[in-house]
Structures are given as structure tokens and as C-alpha cells.
Amino acid sequence: MKTILVGLKRAVDYNVRVRVKSDGSGVETDGVKMSINPFDEIALEEALRIKESGAAEEVVVVSVGISEAQQQLRTGLAMGADRAILVETAEELQPLGVAKVFMKLIEKESADLVVLGKLTIDGDNNQTGQMLAALWGRPGATFASDIKIDGSTATVVREIDTGLETIEVDLPAVITADLRLNEPRYVKLPDIMKAKKKPLEEIKLDDLGVAAGKSFEVTAHKPPEERSKGVMVEDVAGLVGALRDKGLV
């Protein structure tokens, strides 16, 4: 296997408390710490481990978004990726649009494997990997908690509602990473300095021939409702009474 593509999305850091804009048009990002989407970081770590095992020649990280996403790509390069590609666009692409971008890059890079996070913590859609597999006409293995590559076959342990499921897929394929797949490595300062010299290619979205069309529209954002104060009860009868007062039983 020659090339593994890994998607890295720029997202609000998971340690930051998200605030909705006063007009409800979105969430505040000005002055907010941005990081690699956590599931994408896990996907990159797994791709690097596959390469280090000798099963792949190079790992290429990809981001679709504004020019500031170069920061997250440089972090990916510091972790150990060989090259980076930024598909630059000011528009927020929806899952199908992102899948179409990756399809173009698969053709451009002759990729043998694409590893993505199972979802992003901002959109929480869990759609891009599945859509990409369908567009590519290749197998897709989602929610991976273990991956083993043997020649042209990948054995993937999937996390499903009833437990774990082990499947085999023929490569090329798309795999999406779940939380328990691995623990991403810590990036050291020398690696950050080396990453500055690694190639980062910038491509305009229009140059790929992909339209940023929308299949759905988010009309408003609002914060979750404040949690109501708890009620202390002395016994089961009091619990049933409290639930009845709230119309829950």
C-alpha cells in the first residue's frame, strides 16, 4: 500500500465551552482556541501506526476550509504525516461536499486507504465516511476500535450497539475511527520545527470542480436549556409522586 489519506477538520477545541452568538447565527469562534477534531486526531495516529508497521509508504493529511486550517495541518505534519493538502474555501461544506472533495483527491493521489474520524464534534453528522465509500464504490468500515492490515485486506473491529463486530474488507477502503481506537501521540518541539519544512499544497475548491452546494440548511442555533434544580425525595413513593407531578408517569 502506498498512500493513506487522513482528514483533519479545524474545530473548536474540545476543552473550550462553546458559546452561541447573540443573534443565533452560529457559535463564537473569534479568539477561541481551535484544534484538530479529536476523532480525526485518532484517525491520523492510526494511519501513522500503519505506516510505521511497514504496511504503507506515506500518510497525507487533508483539510477542507479556510486558510487558517494550515495550523491544524502543520500539527498533523508534526505528528508524523509526510505531506499536507489544504482545499481552500470560505464556505462551510456539508458532509456530501467533503466526500466529493476526498473523491477527487483519491483520484489525484491514487490513495489505497482513507481514514477519517467517525464524526466531527461541531457538526456531529457521522456521514462523510459512509458517503465517500458509496461515491468510491469501495468497502467502508465505520466506528473502528481496532485495525489490522494484512496485504490487501483490513481486519476491523467495529463498535456497534450490541458490542463489537469484526469484519474484513478489501483495500482500497474507507475506515472511520472511534474513540477507543488509540491514544494520539504527544507532539514534541523538534517535530513542530521539522513540520515547517514539510510540503503543504494549497488547492482552491473550484479547481477540483466540486460545488459547495447545500442539501440542508441550519436556520438557527441556541444553547441547551438550563438544567432544573433537583428534587430530594425520602422514599419510592415520594419519587413516584415527583415523577407524576412532572407528567413523566
* DSSP sequence for 156-185: EEEEETTEEEEEEEESSEEEEE-GGG--PP
Cell of 225: 436549556
Name the one residue in this structure whose C-alpha cell is 436556520: 219
> Domain 3-221 carries which CATH code?
3.40.50.620
Tell me the pLDDT tens digit for each residue of 201-235. Answer: 999 999 998 887 777 888 888 888 887 788 888 89
Instruction: State mean pLDDT over 50-55.
Output: 96
Q: Which of 123, 154, 120, 150 is nearest to 140 (CA)?
A: 154
What rounded mean pLDDT belongs to the chain? 92
Above 90 in pLDDT, residue 177?
yes
pLDDT of residue 20: 87
Cell of 105: 483527491
Greater pLDDT, 36 or 24? 36
Per-residue pLDDT band for 23 (boundaries 50, 70, 90) equals confident
Rg of the chain in Å (alpha carbons): 21
pLDDT of residue 25: 78
Q: What angle do CA 144, 148, 151 make, to 5 degrees?
A: 130
Tell me the pLDDT tens digit for each residue of 122-172. Answer: 888 999 999 999 999 999 999 999 999 999 999 999 999 999 999 999 999
pLDDT of residue 18: 86
Longest dimension (CA), the chain: 69
